[in-house]
Amino acid sequence: MNAGGVELRGVRAAYRGREVLHGIDLSIRSGERVALIGPNGAGKSTLLRCVTGTAPDRRGEVLVGGTPVSALSREAMARRVAVVPQQATVPFATSVEQLVALGRIPHEHPFLGLRDADRLAVARAIERVGLVHLVGRDARELSQGERQLALLAMAVAQDAACLLLDEPTVHLDLRHQVATMELLAELNERDGVTVVAVLHDVALAAHFFPRLVVLDGGRIAADGGPETALAPDLVRRVFGVDPGLVARAATVPFALAAARPALTVATGVSRPPSTPLGPLS
Site for another protein in 24-53 (CB under 8 A): 30-31, 52
- In whole angstroms, the minimum distance from the beta carbon of 119 to another protein comes to 4
Select from 9, 14, 61, 88 the one that contacts another protein (CB under 8 A).
88
Instruction: Return the residues of window 239-268 that contact another protein according to CB under 8 A.
Output: 265
Q: How far apart are CA 51 and CA 90, in angstroms?
A: 25
Select from 14, 23, 45, 135 the one that contacts another protein (CB under 8 A).
135
Q: Which of 267, 260, 263, 270 is nearest to 129 (CA)?
A: 267
Torsion of CA 127, 130, 133, 134, to 10 degrees: -90
Binding marks (x or -) toward another protein, 152..191, rule CB under 8 A?
------xxxxx---------------------------xx
Select from 23, 39, 60, 85 the one that contacts another protein (CB under 8 A).
85
Judged by CB under 8 A, the number of residues near another protein is 71
Select from 91, 240, 261, 278 the one that contacts another protein (CB under 8 A).
91
Torsion of CA 192, 193, 194, 195, to 10 degrees: -120
Q: How far apart are CA 50 and CA 45, in angstroms?
A: 9
Angle between helices 144-157 and 174-191 (to 10 degrees): 10
- Interface with another protein, residue 79, by CB under 8 A: yes
- In whole angstroms, the minimum distance from the beta carbon of 98 to another protein comes to 5
Select from 11, 36, 47, 122 the one that contacts another protein (CB under 8 A).
122
- In whole angstroms, the minimum distance from the beta carbon of 29 to another protein comes to 10
Nearer to another protein, 152 or 160 (CB): 160
Cβ contacts of 95 within 8 Å, gap of 6 or more: 135, 136, 137, 138, 139
- Interface with another protein, residue 60, by CB under 8 A: no
Select from 67, 98, 228, 275 the one that contacts another protein (CB under 8 A).
98
Give the binding range for another protein (CB under 8 A) out of 19-27, 36-44, 73-81, 244-252.
73-81
Q: Which of 173, 239, 237 is nearest to 206 (CA)?
A: 239
Binding marks (x or -) toward another protein, 190..219, rule CB under 8 A?
xxxxx-------------------------
Give the binding range for another protein (CB under 8 A) out of 18-26, 109-117, 172-180, 215-223.
109-117
Give the binding range for another protein (CB under 8 A) out of 106-114, 177-185, 203-211, 226-234.
106-114
Q: How far apart are CA 197 and CA 212, in angstroms?
A: 10
